[in-house]
Amino acid sequence: KSLKSTLYVVRVSSIGLKHSAPCNHCCQIIKKAGIKKIVYSKDNGEFEIINTKNYNSNFITSGNRYISS
C-alpha cells in the first residue's frame, strides 16, 4: 500500500548541511512503509529528490555493522 508520502531526511552540522541519504536498512523500511519519495540533504547544501522505487543503498551504518557482528 502506497502512502503517497514524502520523507525528508536532513543532517546539519556547525558548517552546514551534510549528506543524509538513507542507508540500506532504512531504505528497506521506507519501501515497506510505502513511502513514495525521499528528499535528502547533500554535502554541497543542495537537496536530492528521488522516487523510492528507484532508490537502493549499499551503505551500512556503523551501528548496523556492530549489531550484525
Q: How many angstroms separate the CA atoms of 22 and 49, rounded? A: 12
Closest C-alpha among 2, 11, 4, 9 to residue 39: 9
Q: Which residue has the cell 520523507?
A: 7
Contact assessment for residue 36 and residue 51, using Cβ atoms and an 8 Å cutoff: yes
Q: Which residues pair with 13 in a beta bridge?
A: 16
| pLDDT tens digits, one per residue of 32-68 | 999 999 999 999 999 999 999 999 999 888 888 889 8
Cβ atoms within 10 Å, residue 29? 11
| pLDDT tens digits, one per residue of 17-37 | 999 999 999 999 999 999 999
Looking at residue 41, its amino acid is: S
**Could you tell me the pTM of the whole model?**
0.83
